[in-house]
Amino acid sequence: MPVVSAVMTTEILPGCEPFSATGSRDGVLVLHGFTGNPQSMRPVANVLANAGYSVELPRLPGHGTSVADMMTTTWADWSAAADAAFVDLSARCDRVAVVGLSMGGGLTAYLAERHPEIVGAVFINPLVKPPADELRDGLNQLLDAGVETIESIGSDIKKEGSVEASYDATPLACVKSLFEGIDEVYSNLSSITAPVLVLSSRDDHVVTSDNGDALVEKVAGSVERIWLEDSFHVATLDNDAPLVEAQTAAFVARVFGA
């Protein structure tokens, strides 16, 4: 009798697939946010690929499939996947820059802290600062009470008709793991020596702008900051998307010496 595997797979939601482009020996790793997926960063990845760079936009573990799938993952999985994608891209390229949105910004910092060879880092409304104690206490109370999810934090977009293909719920155990990972990231921000570009929305309902302040204050390398005046959190799909794309491409070109 044939052997039937008991391993189940979770299908990737339409439009949430990872993206890869082979270009020059200069590479850019692009990282999406928490409960999001590559869809939110695909426009930025496309611009960089069209500029001739080799680009990798991975789908982080547990993302772009189902909330139940995500609930089996932690910061250790997301950071390991980001690191593996960086190592793989570095093996094919002479130089690598990293671009991240939200948690992807936290992962960008995580990589820049561990890989000083990164030539530049772009942070789009990044999460790099631990939450207030009150928020953490409230999270622990909910978990202790058996609450597994709360309402979605996704698709915080000002532009009418623009939607992020994020989950419709936020898994709290994953949030707790994310905060624990960010604790370590924040404590090591001063070790980042690569040039940094920070893109910050004035009005962000998910991540407060003092996360960008932390990068400006703590990183050791040069920092440029640009304020986004007409977008909420997912600025890559919002009114300021053309500005985000243009500034990211220009920054990447500068750090690569183009």
Q: Are 112 and 90 in contact (CB under 8 A)?
A: no
Give the DSSP per-residue string, 51-67.
TT-EEEE---TT-SS-H
User: Quick check: is 200 catalytic?
Assistant: no
Catalytic residue, chosen from 155, 166, 200, 233, is 233
* DSSP 3-state of 123: strand
Largest CA distance in the chain: 65
Catalytic residue, chosen from 156, 204, 238, 240, is 204
82 alpha-carbon distance from chain centroid = 9
Taking the C-alpha atoms of residue 166 and residue 40, their distance in angstroms, rounded to an integer, is 9
Taking the C-alpha atoms of residue 103 and residue 34, their distance in angstroms, rounded to an integer, is 5
User: Quick check: is 205 catalytic?
Assistant: no
Catalytic residue, chosen from 102, 155, 200, 231, is 102
User: Quick check: is 233 catalytic?
Assistant: yes
Residues annotated as catalytic are 102, 204, 233
